[in-house]
Chains A and B, each alone.
Chain A
Amino acid sequence: MESLLQVKNVEKVFGKGANTFKALEDISFTIDHGEFVGIMGPSGAGKSTLLHVLATIDTPSKGDIYIENDNIAKMKGDQLADFRRDHLGFIFQDYNLLDSLTVRENIVLPLAIAKLPPKEIDVKVNSMAKAFGIETILDKYPYQISGGQKQRTASCRALVSNPKLIFADEPTGALDSKSATDLLKALSSLNEDQDATIMMVTHDAFAASFCRRILFISDGRLSREMIRATHSRKEFYQMILDELAQLGGDGHDTV
């Protein structure tokens, strides 16, 4: 089976003329269907730039990015927006919920944009809300619920349209450890049970330990790859910590 995501020699340069800065350099990797991949690296290594480029929010300066057969590096404007709508889901650190809509309406939004019939929308929203345990707060407004609930709502919104690929940008960054664990468990069970493909950028070794595979990035290049394989989550966590310590003296910056 061909890969879901194929990144080939991607480069991203900021600035113009003599004053340029290479944020990404010669990055190539693939992600297969049903993978749960983490991206780790110190601040300024290019994690967020990589996520933005893959998520079509930004365009690479060079290279190709294939999602199945579509080269998203060559798409433009509204074509990209449509592609995002139909194939990608996003979870952000700061939730990005719309305050003027209820939890239910927030989750409805991507389906409404995709012009699904209301009945179908209802069914999908209810089942997804159940998976994240937020059925009871569907009619509340974002300002009435907690941070953890907000992030679960945001995840529901990202997953409800059944996207090919889900991008999570530091999803647990603003959550306490209990809420973070709940969210990560929900994500990894979706990954296991429904074959959802997830790519998560994170600082946090604990969050990363829920992934099946981790790509390390530093100074804009891929530096190492770790695969969980048959290790337990706890073992994997320890392996990540060791790796981070090895990556250099500034380990405290990465954890």
Chain B
Amino acid sequence: MTLFNLALKNIRRNVKSYGLYIGSTIFSIIIFFTFATLKHSGDISGLAETSKQISGIMSASAFVLIIFVAIFILYSNSFFMRKRKKEVALYALMGVRKQKTAFLLFFENMVIGIVSLIVGVVLGFFLSQLLLSLLLKLMGLNIEIGLAFSPNAVVETIIVFLIIFLFTSLQGYRVIYRFKLIDLFHASKKGEELPKARIISVILGLATLVTAYWLALQDLTSEVWKILGISMPIVIIALTVLGTYLIFNSVLVYVLHMLKKRKFWAWKGLNLMTASQLLYRIRGNAKTLTIIATLSATTITAGGAVFGLYYDTEKNVEQTTPFSFMWEGQEEDIDDSIVKESIRVDTKSIRINSEQMEREYTVIDHSAFEKLAEALEWDIDSLNITEDEVAMIEPFYNEQWTEDVKEISFNNVDHEVVQIYEESIFNLSTVPGTVIVVHDEAYIDLNAEESTYQAVNVENYKEHLDLSQELEAKSSTVDFSSAVQDYQDSLEGTGIMLFVGSFLGLVFLVATGSIIFFKMMTEAEDDKDKYSILYKIGVSKKEIKRTIRYQVGLIFIAPLILGLLHGTVALIAFSSLFQMDLLVPIIIWMSAYVLIYISYYFITIRGFHKTILYKIQEGN
């Protein structure tokens, strides 16, 4: 029998134990290939005008994805190799040369790789079609997309994964050459001392994290920013990661130690066992947990920000384009049944020289203001202004940046500014800048050029893209602006961001979940005997399941809580920087994240139970 046959047979007979590894490899390939297809899809790059920007985002994302996929495969591969060490040892015991075993494993790994590549590319092709139509839906476009098969994507996927497989195969070589037969006989039997935490690193861990949070929440104008300058984000991230590590490595260990010392808690049921197991588990996995917490934080922050922007699209559009349509010129024929309001506004434009700057204002009279405010359903008290008073409508008002204007003089009279509104009363792309409201008499007296605008509000403005385009095409509508068009434009921009963001978020989430899953399954494998002992001395399956739930639960929940905490702080900083209210979208995003994460917990619990309870039954 040739080596080739042996390797093939080996795979065919062990499909079950290989399943996890092959599954995760195929999964990685699907994800990557889908992404590569989208990246190379002509439809996508042709869709938005900012295709350069988008292809930039896509390339950067692909890079992140490659790193991630590589880590993920390495992880599952090392899990897989651990399982096979016994087999390798057996070969060695029977006198098979290392070279031969190594070649067998290398060969086998390459076969698995090539098979997964084929399956992954085929499945990925279909998945990419699904995602493409999803993306188009998110971007609010109704375009038929044909099945675009991208050879570039295939080549890219094959190259990336062949390199990864080559690397994992070489890893296999390393395992075999470093393997000593004696390890087989007392592998992992060596006891380890119970991990202990020094109080100093406990305090240090808490302090680091608090400092990082405090820094993150500082205003851009604060002292710290001046001192640290551009290195600030790096300092924050470094402190956060360090703090996270210390939390796992020391703080949690310390807390568990304290718990274990309290006989009233510890000497009850399996608490003693749970605490001891967790101590080893958390200390041994501190690095992995740190990575997971950091990844979760990144995913939550990036996803939250992008989702926040997307969620804000409608609000943004309604802020800058409050009327469905607006243009300069005469009234147009629009179907009466859909029109809610159609207002004709006369405005005058004045230039005023204040101390250093020349300012331009659009002036409307009080009655026009009332009409507009009513049409926009502004929730304000009725405005009373006398002839020498004005109200100012400043959509970009900002306490910090906007210069306070107390008086405006025209008609040779100083007018006091009695009221400031911070919303826009016109579509900004038709009538930009600051608007002032004057007394009807003062408006008539004002000696300036007058222009006439039409402001129209229609029912369900998002459904009238056709009408918008029809109106825009007419030569009689000058400076035409429409809410639906603006909405469409911003959707296209943020839609891609949202898609890339949530896609990467999903990948990260799946990867973090899988890393924990693999870790826990490895440990379940190691812990089998312990649970079998417990069962024999009379611990019920119910209680065994409970301690497993607690142990796996803490391993899952600890990095999740830290990730959520980091993400919350980062998003608070983000939203105050961009002055957005992101509360609702972030809560939606975080809940989605937590939900998927929790389902991973249940999958892991199930796997753990299966491994342990199978052993218990076998142990008969």
Instruction: Give the B-binding residues of A (Cβ under 8 A).
Output: 52, 55, 57-58, 77-78, 81-86, 88-90, 92, 96-101, 105, 108-113, 115, 118, 121-122, 141-144, 157-158
Contacts and interface: CB of A to CB of B under 8 A. Distances in A.
Contacts of B280: 100
A85 B269 CA distance: 11
A81 B535 contact: yes
Interface string B257-275: 0000001101111111100
B163 interface: no
A58 B620 contact: yes
Given A58-B620, A109-B272, A98 B530 contact: yes
A111 B267 contact: yes
B193 interface: yes
Contact of A115 (B268, B272, B534): B268
B98 interface: no
A85 B268 contact: no
A81 B191 contact: no
Contacts of B203: none
A82 B538 contact: yes
Contacts of A108: 267, 272
Nearest to A82: B540
Contacts of A92: 536
B191 A98 contact: no
A119 B270 CA distance: 17
Nearest to A81: B540
B273 A101 contact: yes
Nearest to B536: A90
B159 interface: no
Of B280, B539, B541, most buried by chain A (CB within 10 Å of CB) is B539
Given A99-B191, A100-B277, A109 B537 contact: yes
B190 interface: yes
B41 interface: no
A100 B276 contact: yes
A20 B378 CA distance: 86
Nearest to A98: B530
A110 B537 contact: yes
A13 B440 CA distance: 105
Shortest 8 CB-CB contacts between residues of A and residues of B = A143-B191, A85-B538, A84-B538, A81-B540, A118-B263, A78-B540, A100-B276, A96-B533
Contact of A141 (B189, B193, B264, B273): B193
A84 B533 CA distance: 12
9 contacts: A55-B536, A57-B619, A98-B273, A98-B276, A98-B533, A99-B530, A100-B279, A111-B267, A143-B190
Given A112-B272, A113-B537, 7 more contacts: A57-B536, A85-B537, A98-B533, A101-B273, A108-B272, A143-B189, A158-B537
Nearest to B263: A118
Contacts of B191: 99, 141-144
Nearest to A158: B537
A26 B272 CA distance: 43
Nearest to A92: B536
B543 interface: yes
B194 interface: yes
Nearest to A110: B537
Nearest to A89: B537
Interface in B161-195: 189-191, 193-194
Contact of B620 (A57, A105, A110, A142): A57
Contacts of B263: 118, 121-122
Given A58-B620, A113-B539, A100 B269 contact: no
Nearest to B270: A113
A250 to B, nearest CB: 27
Nearest to A114: B538
Given A78-B542, A81-B538, A101 B267 contact: no
A142 to B, nearest CB: 7
Nearest to A84: B538
Contact of B538 (A58, A86, A101, A122): A86
A89 B538 CA distance: 9
A89 B543 CA distance: 18
A253 to B, nearest CB: 24
B535 A112 contact: no
Given A98-B533, A141-B193, A112 B267 contact: yes
Interface in B34-85: none
Contacts of A55: 536
Contacts of A118: 263-264, 267
A113 B543 contact: yes
A115 B541 contact: no
A191 to B, nearest CB: 20
Of A77, A78, A105, A109, most buried by chain B (CB within 10 Å of CB) is A109
B491 to A, nearest CB: 55
A84 B539 CA distance: 8
Contacts of A86: 538
Of A55, A81, A82, most buried by chain B (CB within 10 Å of CB) is A81
